[in-house]
Amino acid sequence: MKSSASFLARLRPRLPTLGLLALYAAISVGTTWPLVLHPDDLLITRHFDGFSTLWLMDVAPDLDWALRSDRAAWPDGQVLRRADSQLLVAVAWALRPLLGPVVLFNLFVLLGPIFSAWAAEHFARVVLGATRPWSVLAGLAFAFSGLSATSVLEGHAYFLLMPWLPLLATAGWRATRPGGRVADGLLAGAMWFCCLLTSGYVGILGVIVVVALGLTALPHLRAQLRPVLAAAAVAVPLGLLYTVGFVTGADPGARFHTDAPVLGMAADAGLGATASQLQAGSSGLLQLIGVRLADDVARHGIAPVLSLTMLVLAGLAGQVLPKKGPWRLFSVIGTAGLLLSLGPVIETIEGPMSGLPWLEKWVMGAPGSPGTGGPPWPGYPNLPWLLFPLAYVPGDVFFHFPYRFAWLTVLGLGGVAAAVATQLARDLGRRRFLAHGLLLAGLVDATLRPMLPQRSAQVPIGVPSAYGATVGWPGGLLELWPRPAGGATDADLLMNNLTCTYQRVHHLPLVSDCIGTGLDRSPRVRLSRVVFARVVEQRPEGLQAELAALGVGAVAVHPLLFSPEDRGRLVGLLDGALGPPVAQSEDAGDPVWIYRVQGTEADRSVARLAWDRLEGG
């Protein structure tokens, strides 16, 4: 009895935190339902990156010291030092021997928001003075916004596990204020490196937070020099190590190069390749306040809906909170993130401005009609914005997805909103129960407005049984499906990444690249063109010897993706060159025919010579 009473006494102070975690867990499970019931055979993502993330988690334990995988881009292998998330690689490297890749992926989806919400709530309490239960608003705004929904739909599961950014803000604040300790600086440096490992984007967001904290600490920086130097001692060498790895991580397996296409949506607005990539990944004004289901197709699910409760409460901060305090700094950080997330142009409309002809006239302009009162960019339907100068940067830019700046918004304004709710509850005194309506509003914002249950898919993750026949075969596997003449499309990328996930059954090296969107550089695309050229010419002789010399031991055809005429011609060529398929299946939603290439050269170094000749030709 005594030990039981002692346990309860130790547990009682932790009950509020446990209750908070239970609330966040219930939201995570509810908004992703029924994922928790099928963690090992279901994904709820809608787009192709989910499959490449799944493949990356599967191969992580097999990477060599240079982060190269021999399981893709046969025969050279694919260097993964520029993979989106090295943190995901590290977690998968540690846990993949214990758990399957699908389970690991879904643990990020289910558990990541819980940890992220707790960290944001902790930040609101420690830095901004919010108290429970009002601090829960910060966790809801940060971990359950439209940004998280977009990460689920895109398959970027690593963005859901992001406690590092709020913890960086917390430790950085402590380290740069009077009384800061060396331990605070060390923790801040470590948390920034975790941000960087999560994604280069999050690392940039962390730099913005650190710079803002440093600038506001300048008057008393000398007194805080030791914590600041401690942070730098961790962050600088680790950041340089990451940067060197990234810069030297260009993939030598990417043999074939073409120029990046201009994305259609932005190209229609007259933007070049660099600006078009930026704008395609930017927030639109409409997407910040609500979801349209069409955005999941037209905008790749980019609808970073923000909590209206957060925006309203943060807007009241100047009237409710003291004139001085950390809320001002984090209001600026949050607002800056919001403005930057809009990208190179503000998307004012996506169609006529019904009912506002005077505004439509000014925004749309009148091409060829000087003096109409239109803007200096006649016919241009959007307003140039903060990142517009990047349209003139030659070559490519790293930050293709400006909407991710809005993570600063849900961090900064979410914390400020929690502080405002706390103060309002205090001001209400005995009527503070009225402020509980704010918690309900924040809960509605988190569970209903991103519309994740309505937008997510239920994708069973199976592998066509025909691939089982290839286990133990020498050489690489070439996947064949038709490809649009204009280059890579979403469907093309989806098939590429989906077939990469089949490798968890057959284990053959793939001719395909499995990470990245530049499929024109993939050896699979180059070799498939060789095969398709033979189909057009109906020239099967020599194909078997050519594939064998290139080290290709198996060819997988996805017949239903070809037109009946093209399918017949392709099958006729392969049957004539390789013999009939050795395995066929129609399960897992993807009919597949498997051909075996006899006499395959399994030595990578010898196969590379044949690929060099193919590249030269």
pLDDT tens sequence across 481-493: 987 665 557 888 8
The pLDDT confidence band at residue 517, using thresholds 50, 70 and 90, is: low
pLDDT (0 to 100) of residue 490: 80
pLDDT tens sequence across 266-297: 333 444 456 667 777 888 888 888 887 777 77
H/E segment holding residue 477: strand 476-480
| 535, two tokens | 């189909």
pLDDT tens sequence across 13-45: 788 889 999 999 999 999 999 999 999 999 999
- Range 518-527 average pLDDT: 83
Backbone torsion region of residue 74, taken as left when φ is above 0, otherwise alpha when ψ lies between -120 and 50, otherwise beta: beta
∠ CA(143), CA(145), CA(149), 5° rounding?
Answer: 95
pLDDT (0 to 100) of residue 536: 87
pLDDT (0 to 100) of residue 4: 66
The pLDDT confidence band at residue 395, using thresholds 50, 70 and 90, is: low
Task: Provide the mean pLDDT of the chain.
Answer: 86
Work out whether strand 78-79 and strand 68-69 pair parallel, antiparallel, or are unpaired.
antiparallel
The pLDDT confidence band at residue 53, using thresholds 50, 70 and 90, is: very high
The pLDDT confidence band at residue 361, using thresholds 50, 70 and 90, is: very low
For residue 325, give the amino acid letter.
Answer: G
pLDDT (0 to 100) of residue 583: 96
pLDDT tens sequence across 553-565: 999 999 999 999 9
Q: What are the angstrom distances between the C-alpha of 521 and each of 56, 68, 97, 413?
A: 19, 17, 32, 42
1 or 263, higher pLDDT: 1
pLDDT (0 to 100) of residue 617: 58
The closest alpha carbon to 305, from 425, 450, 437, belongs to 450
Percent of the chain topping pLDDT 70: 85
pLDDT (0 to 100) of residue 179: 87
The pLDDT confidence band at residue 228, using thresholds 50, 70 and 90, is: very high
Percent of the chain topping pLDDT 90: 61
Between the ranges 235-249, 294-308, 472-486, 495-509, where is the mean pLDDT highest?
A: 495-509
pLDDT tens sequence across 368-391: 333 344 343 434 456 778 887 776
H/E segment holding residue 592: strand 592-596
293 class by beta-carbon count within 10 Å (0-12 exposed, 13-18 middle, 19+ buried): exposed
What is the SS3 string spanning 453-466? HHHCCCEECCCCHH
- Range 238-261 average pLDDT: 67
The pLDDT confidence band at residue 301, using thresholds 50, 70 and 90, is: confident
pLDDT (0 to 100) of residue 485: 61
Least confident of 3-12, 400-409, 449-458, 588-597: 3-12
pLDDT tens sequence across 136-167: 999 999 999 999 999 999 999 999 999 999 99
pLDDT (0 to 100) of residue 479: 96
Helix, strand, or coil (residue 476): strand
- Range 518-533 average pLDDT: 86
pLDDT (0 to 100) of residue 396: 59
Neighbours of 196 (CB within 10 A): 25
